[in-house]
Amino acid sequence: MSLPGRPEPRHLRGFRDLFGAALTSRRRMIDTLVSVYERYGFTALETPALEYVDVLGKFLPEADSPQGGIFAFRDENSDWVGLRYDLTAPLSRVIAEYPELPRPFRRYQVGPVFRAEKPGPGRYREFHQCDFDTVGSASPLADAEVCGILSDAMEALGIPRGSYIVRVSDRKVLNGILERAGVRSDDADPNRVLTVMRAIDKMDRISLPGVRDLLGAGRVDESGDPTRGARLTPAQIEAIVRYLEVSRSDRPAHLREIGSLVAGSAVGEEGVAELARIDECLAKVGYGVDRVVFDPTVVRGLAYYTGPVFEVELTFEVKDETGATRRFGSVAGGGRYDDLVERFLGQKLPATGGSIGVDRLLAALSVLAPAPAGRMPGSVMVLVLHPSLAGESFALAHELRTAGLAAEVFLGKGSLRNQMKYADDRGIRCVVLVGEDELKAGTVSVKDLQLGGELAREVQSRETWKRERPAQVTVPRADLIPTLRSMGTSSTR
Partner RNA sequence: GCAGCCGUAGCUCAGUUGGCUAGAGCGCCUGACUGUGGAUCAGGAGGUCGAGGGUUCAAGUCCCCCCGGCUGUACCA
Q: Which residues bind RNA (CB under 7 A)?
A: 1, 13-14, 57-58, 67, 69-70, 85-86, 88-89, 115, 117-121, 194, 198, 202, 205-206, 221-225, 227, 301-304, 385, 414-418, 420-421, 424-425, 433, 435-438, 445, 447, 449-453, 455-457, 459-462, 465-466, 469-472
| Axis-axis angle for helices 140-156, 20-39 (nearest 10) | 140
**Structural contact between residues 355 and 332, judged by C-beta atoms closer than 8 angstroms:** yes
* Cis bond upstream, residue 90 (ω within 30): no
The number of helix segments (H) and strand segments (E) in the chain equals 18, 18
CB 297 within 8 A of CB 209: no
Count Cα atoms within 13 angstroms, Cβ side, for 359. Answer: 18
To the nearest whole angstrom, how small is the minimum distance from the Cβ of residue 469 to RNA? 5
Closest CA to 444 of 456, 457, 432: 432
Of 310, 297, 305, nearest in space to 336 by CA: 305
Classify residue 66 by its DSSP letter. B
Whether the Cβ atoms of residue 166 and residue 295 lie closer than 8 Å to each other: no
Helix, strand, coil percent content, the chain, rounded in steps of 5: 40, 20, 40
Between CA 197 and CA 312 the distance in angstroms is: 19
Residues 301 and 400: their CA atoms lie apart, in Å, by: 53
| C-alpha torsion sign, points 21, 26, 32, 38 | negative
- Alpha-helical (H) ranges within 389-471 are 390-402, 416-426, 436-441, 449-456, 462-468
With beta carbons less than 8 A apart as the criterion, state whether 124 and 359 touch: yes
273 CB-near residues (< 8 Å, 6+ apart) = none
| Strands 325-336, 379-382: pairing kind | unpaired
How are beta strands 226-228 and 292-294 bridged, if at all?
unpaired
Amino acid identity of residue 117, one-letter, is: E
- Tell me if 449 sits within 8 A of 375, measured CB to CB: yes
Nearer to RNA, 234 or 414 (CB): 414
Are the C-beta atoms of 448 and 431 separated by less than 8 Å?
A: no
